[in-house]
Amino acid sequence: MALNDSDLHAPGAASETRRPLIGLPTYYGRSQHGAWDVHASFLPAVYIEAVSQAGGRVALLPPVQSWNSREVAELDGLILTGGEDIDPLHYGAQRGAHTGPANTSRDTFESTLYVAARAAGLPVLGICRGAQLINAVHGGTLHQHLPTVPGLDQHQGATSGMFLDVDVSTEAGSVLAAVIGPSVRVRCHHHQGLDTIGSGLRISAHAADGCIEGIEGCDSDSDAAPMLVAVQWHPEETPDDLRLFSALVAAAGKRQSIPKLREDA
């Protein structure tokens, strides 16, 4: 369709609201379709749909190079998504018998991206693997296989390969409680979990068996600090409840009024 001059000056075009731009890192893998067998960049569509339905725009970030804080500042928010196990070397542990193969390039790319996002003052939402990565970057550790941890229910490991419904309680006064309330039933699929919590983070949600299901920045309830919330469950799997995505998009929208990093910064 060809554009004419009137299209460029349509009523209201200059005053249209700019939707917050949310970065979603992708990861490389093998894609087979038809006659093609290629190296491709992946991200499940449910994350893209959740951000879009919450009012944000999506920027898919391929893991080809590191982003510095000035480049990340071009975004308005960041979501670190679910996926495979993190290499235990990232939290100073030996590989356990149940830990899956490492994707070291993804670990490095997303860790660097997260550090740059925090330096740039972006609001961040971590989901499952994303929560584990955030904890590791802050110096925390992980349980490498929840079914072998005394006191934690077997169902938390989601070893059946299916999403399971889990009741979660939030900590009073936390950002997570302000967003989703005192309790919620969520969709879980993780055989690893948070153990020691990293510096600058605090626990904001538990499952009934004590498994840590949510963390957030210690200063996340401050108006001056960017949102940092991470959960072990998968909010993208409940499309009728977009509260976490909406909170991230809203925080990203507020950041739009903050000047981007100057070239001489």
Q: Which residues are catalytic?
A: 128, 234, 236
CA distances from 95 to 48, 150, 157, 253 (A): 32, 19, 17, 40
CB 237 within 8 A of CB 190: no
C-alpha 214/C-alpha 181 separation (Å) is: 13
CB 229 within 8 A of CB 125: yes
Query: What single-letter DSSP state applies at residue 39?
Result: E
Which two structure tokens, joined as six digits, stand for 37? 């067998």
| Burial (Cβ within 10 Å: 0-12, 13-18, ≥19) of residue 9 | exposed
Helix residue ranges, H only, 58-128: 69-72, 104-119
C-alpha 182/C-alpha 205 separation (Å) is: 9
C-alpha 126/C-alpha 114 separation (Å) is: 10
Residue 84 CB contacts under 8 Å (≥ 6 apart), including other chains: 100, 101, 103, 106, 129
Residues constituting the chain: 265
